[in-house]
Amino acid sequence: MHLRLWQCLIAMLLFLPGSLYADDFYKGKTIRVIVGGSAGGGFDIYTRAMARHMGKHIPGNPSLVVENMTGAGTFIAAKFIHSSAKPDGLTFGMFNGALILGRVLGMKGIDIDMRELEYLGVPVQDSTVCALRKESGVNNVNQWFASKTPMKLGGLSPGNSTSDVARMIGGTLGLPIQLVEGYKGTNEIRLAADAGELHGACWAWETLKVAWQNAIPAGDVNVVLQVTAKKLPDLPNVPMALDLAKSDEARLLLKAGAIDPAAIVRVYVTTPRIPQERLEILRKAFSATLTDPEFVAEAKKANIDINPLSGEEVKKTVDDLFKLSPAIVSKLANILAVK
C-alpha cells in the first residue's frame, strides 16, 4: 500500500507543469537588469521606473538590480546578454533596437545574431524628432535646408538610432549635417548641446521632451523635424520627413531605415536558451508592469509615455527586418555607412 502511494506521488511530481518549478525558482533571487545607456538617459529612466514595480509581478517576488553597461552605442550590453549572461532567467536588459537593423545591413562590429535573443517587449514605441539649440541660428526646417553651415548633431555610434536617423535624413532629404559620434548616451548629448559643443540631435520625443522639459517651452531648444509615421499631437506645426521626401523610394528608405526601427528602439531582451517557462514569466511580468496602476502613476508624474509592444510583436518586427529585399538593404547600407 505504501509502495503504491509513493508511486502515485512520484508520478504526480513528474507531470507537474514546469511553470510551478519556475515560480519557486525566483523566490529569494535577484534579477540583474542591464541598461545599455548611461545613467540619467532615456533608457535608464524607463528601466529604473519599471524595475521598481516589475518584481511584484514575478512569482516569488525577486529583487531587481539595474546596472548601466555603456559603450559601442549600447552594443556592449546587447552582446553581454546574448553571449555572456547565463541563460537562467536571472538576466534581462535593454539596448538600442536600431542595432537590429545594423545587423541586417551587415554593419561591422555587430557580430551577434539578433534572432537568437528572446524578446520581452518595448514599453513605448519611439517617435523620433530632431531638435536644435537656438544658438545654432536654425529655428525651423526651412532654415536648416538653407543653412550654409552643417548642423552638428550628436550620436552614439553607427547602428544606434541617434546616429542612424541623422544619416537617414541627410541621405534622403539632403539636409546639411555634421554627425559627431562617440557619446555614451542621450544625456551626454544633451549636456554637450547645452555646452555649445553641438547644435542638437535626433532622438525620441518621448524622452527628449523630458530631457529639455524647460528649454523647449522657453524657446532655447526648437523641435524642427519629425521622423515619424504620423504627426505627433504635441507637435502639430512641426513638419514630417516623409512629407519632405521627394520620391517614393526616399519615403520607403525613411520608413525602413528610421521609422519602423523606432518602434523597437527601447527593446528589452533576455538570453538565448532561457527555459521557456521562465521566458513566459518574464514576458507576462513585463506586460503586467506596464498596466500596473502604481507604475502608470509614476510614469505620468515623470512625463514618460507608455505605448507598448509585446515580446511576440517585437519578434515579428525583427523577423520582418531580416526579410527586407536585397535592393533596399543595399541602399540603406550605403546611406548608413560611415563616410
Residue range 289-307: mean pLDDT, rounded: 93
Q: Is 118 inside any structural domain? A: yes
Residue 303 contacts residue 207 (beta carbons within 8 Å): no
Q: Which amino acid is at 60?
A: G
Which of 243, 261, 279 is at the close of a domain?
A: 261
Q: What CATH number does residue 202 fall under? A: 3.40.190.10
The verdict on 252 and 289 lying in the same domain is no
The verdict on 284 and 318 lying in the same domain is yes
Q: What CATH number does residue 296 fall under? A: 3.40.190.150
Residue 14 pLDDT grade (very low, low, confident, very high; cuts 50, 70, 90): very low
Q: Is 80 inside any structural domain? A: yes
pLDDT for residue 22 is more than 70: no
C-alpha to C-alpha distance for 49 and 299, rounded to whole angstroms: 7
- Better pLDDT: 21 or 145: 145
Q: Which amino acid is at 72?
A: A
Q: Is 181 inside any structural domain? A: yes
Number of domains in the chain: 2
Q: Is 4 inside any structural domain? A: no
The verdict on 119 and 133 lying in the same domain is no
The verdict on 68 and 98 lying in the same domain is yes
The verdict on 239 and 278 lying in the same domain is no
Q: What is the pLDDT of residue 4?
A: 59
Residue 229 contacts residue 259 (beta carbons within 8 Å): yes
Residue 266: C-alpha distances to residues 79, 177, 261, 298 (Å):
16, 25, 10, 18
Which of 200, 227, 261 is at the close of a domain?
A: 261
Q: Is 16 inside any structural domain? A: no
3-state class of 65 per DSSP? strand
pLDDT for residue 332 is more than 80: yes
The verdict on 137 and 241 lying in the same domain is yes
The verdict on 176 and 100 lying in the same domain is no
Q: Is 70 inside any structural domain? A: yes
Q: What is the pLDDT of residues 116-168, one digit of tens each?
A: 999 999 999 989 999 999 999 999 999 999 999 999 999 998 878 899 999 99
The verdict on 224 and 236 lying in the same domain is yes
Please, what is the average pLDDT of the chain?
Answer: 92
The verdict on 234 and 325 lying in the same domain is no
Q: Is 336 inside any structural domain? A: no
Which of 261, 282, 305 is at the close of a domain?
A: 261
Residue 9 pLDDT grade (very low, low, confident, very high; cuts 50, 70, 90): very low
Q: Is 197 inside any structural domain? A: yes
For the chain, percent of residues with pLDDT exceeding 70: 93
User: Cα angle at 324 between 322 and 327, to 5 degrees?
Assistant: 135
The verdict on 85 and 44 lying in the same domain is yes
Residue range 32-37: mean pLDDT, rounded: 96
Whole domain around residue 181: which residue ranges?
128-261
Q: What is the pLDDT of residue 1?
A: 45
The verdict on 191 and 271 lying in the same domain is no
pLDDT for residue 13 is more than 70: no
Residue 89 contacts residue 284 (beta carbons within 8 Å): no
Q: What is the pLDDT of residue 108?
A: 87
Spatial neighbors of 58 by CB under 8 A, at least 6 apart, are 26, 31, 281, 282, 285
Residue 186 contacts residue 37 (beta carbons within 8 Å): yes
The verdict on 327 and 214 lying in the same domain is no
